[in-house]
Amino acid sequence: MTISVDQLRLGVSFAHAVPSALLTIHLDRGRSLRCAHDRCLEPDVHPCQARQLVAGARGGGPTDWLGEVVGLELGGPRLVDEGGGLYRAEAEAGRSWSFATTLCPVDAHEVVAEALAAAFDERGMPAGEDDLSSLDLRALIDRSLDVVVVTCPETGPAAPVSATEAARRSLGACLVAELCGAAAAERRLR
């Protein structure tokens, strides 16, 4: 089974945006490449190099190597798979939760803001800009690969929505928006 370019671009963008991530790119014949920022993880390739390679393949560059990619694995000693594409990073500065989406930056921002506003509303608290900004969500836009990596640092106990809940709701809303967009594109092709 080969991996799609979309799966590869999500994994590579995530490894580039989250310093504690280790992306293992499994190749045919039992080989693998380790992609990470952290030299302690003994990477074979830096995330910047991997981004250039994947961006080149998307832009009409060589793609013959894509057939050798049979699997991807995100992990690392300080990265925990929370399921569904959500990862928890443990760092000296604290915990954070991250995920990658193929939504364009504007759509990702709108979808995340709506999901978080709904979380506030469920608690009977209308969400204003100050409330949403108190969650300190960050989006790293990878224009080369058309991916947005959203990170939500751990919130204090007084926060109306926990970082875990904010990240889960945001990821869920982004996945639904991606699926709706894919379904609409499929209908247009018919």
Domain spans in the chain, listed from the N-terminal domain onward: 5-77, 83-189
**Percent of the chain topping pLDDT 90:** 57
Q: Which residue has the higher pLDDT, 180 or 154?
A: 180
**Across 148-169, average pLDDT:** 80
pLDDT in tens, 94-127: 889 999 999 999 999 999 988 888 877 776 665 5
Backbone angles phi, psi at 62, to 5 degrees: -60, 135
Taking a C-beta distance cutoff of 8 angstroms, is the pair 74, 23 a contact? Answer: yes
Q: Choose the most confident range, by mean pLDDT, from 39-48, 51-60, 123-132, 163-172.
A: 39-48
Residue 32 pLDDT more than 90? yes
Taking a C-beta distance cutoff of 8 angstroms, is the pair 71, 77 a contact? Answer: no
pTM (predicted TM-score): 0.87
Report DSSP letters for 115-173, one per residue. HHHHHHHHTT----HHHHHTT--EEEEETTTTEEEEEEEPPPTT-SS-HHHHHHHHHHH
